[in-house]
Amino acid sequence: MKSYECLIEELYNRFPAFQQVGAGAYKPGLENAEALDAYFGHPHRQYHTIHVGGTNGKGSTSHTLAAILTASGYRVGLYTSPHLADFRERIRIDGKMIPKDVVERFLREYSDDALSFRPSFFELTTFMAMQYFAQEKVDVAVIEVGLGGRLDTTNVITPDLSIITNISHDHVALLGDNLSDIAREKSGIIKEGIPVVIGEAEGDVKEVFMQRAKEVNAPISFAQESNTMTAAEPSGSGWMYRGTIVGDVWGELGGLCQEKNAATILTAVVELRRMGYTIGDEAICEGFAHVTTKTGLQGRWQKLCERPLMICDTGHNIGGMEYIARQLNSTPCHALHIVIGMVNDKDISGVIALLPRHAHYYFTQASVARALPAQEVAAIAAQHGLQGTTYPTVQQAITAAKDAAQDDDFIFIGGSTFVVADALKG
């Protein structure tokens, strides 16, 4: 009998994953998803769902909401992507990853022969998650959109609440090359009569969301206008959110972007309470304070070492890097070292243009096919006045940075989710 490792390898090989190969694995359209949904008996109808889309912040938002709901006493499924170190990170119940034997059983039973067509990696794993949640009788599942929204496999669900965190330039070849077009794709998760919370939106993007909500008669709330907090300030390694709907709340996630995410999450909690979810004040505080232990979230301004300070973050597009660059420039240190690599379908020049020029750079490439060769990253960086050395692997780049750094220096690791994944794998 094939081992778990062999079955997972076959899953990657037989059903191409966007994580590994990029746009070649993307299947626009819901025909396969709808066929799979019927084949599996619409498993998502057996529990409540919350649908979370957007360009940046949807992972932090999904995990924190799941943590709050778990702390409230619900049995909570959580489906997110991509994973960092272990495929099973994508599918969790109350923070615990799907067991290997459940993955094995699913992959043995539902081959492409049994299904009569070949679904994508994401299509198949989405229904692995949905079926698992049904089998384990979760009360509610937080479902993160994979890519876009309108044509994403997850869009077969009819949630209690839809959430769109924000819109930024990402996957422009697939979703559109301007923010309005991207917003239209992501607004596709707004459904008839289902409330939607928007994290950040201005101008034309806000108009897109308002128009879509009007078309389908969906109540719409904007976190920017919700007054769910009065202020946010750094506190320890995280944030203190002042004057929230439950008083002062400490959040353990430390990235600058978390202030916006917190407003979105709190606005979503207001909506969930309004529709009958029992979410206590203490549960909100507990979810914010212990999201990593309750859900296994990694890679969000995560501290890997104290001296020298070493932080990794999965922010990988212009919207995410704007926050990271501000935080890099504001973190006190003797010298700044940046280990960076990128994948080949991003606005690489736009991201690199945001990075500080005074840092020492260690250009590298992650262990996925989509990774841009380190030499190409270095060449683009040089056009923006950034200088450094290239390294063939992430671990070699990290080792070089640690060897060069003093105790009061700061090492940052990022540029790509997959660079962070390699860093965490060690």
For the chain, the structural domain boundaries read 4-295, 302-425
3-state helix, strand, coil in the chain (%, to 5): 45, 20, 35
Superfamily for the 4-295 domain? Mur-like, catalytic domain (3.40.1190.10)
Condensed to tens digits (0 to 9), the pLDDT of residues 192-242 reads: 999 999 999 999 999 999 999 999 999 999 999 999 999 999 999 999 999
**Confidence band for 370, pLDDT divided at 50, 70 and 90:** confident
* Strand locations in 341-403 (E): 360-363, 388-390
Condensed to tens digits (0 to 9), the pLDDT of residues 119-151 reads: 888 999 999 999 999 999 999 999 999 988 999
Look at residue 296 in the predicted model and tell me its pLDDT: 97
- H helix or E strand, kind and range, residue 129: helix 121-135
Superfamily for the 302-425 domain? Mur ligase, C-terminal domain (3.90.190.20)
- Reduce the DSSP state of residue 168 to 3 states and report it: coil
Q: What global pTM score does this model have?
A: 0.93
Would you say residue 69 has pLDDT above 90?
yes
Would you say residue 314 has pLDDT above 60?
yes
- Reduce the DSSP state of residue 234 to 3 states and report it: strand
Share of the chain above pLDDT 90, in %: 84
Short-list 145, 202, 191, 205, CA closest to 171: 145
C-alpha to C-alpha distances, 358 to 118, 255, 415, nearest whole angstrom: 49, 21, 17
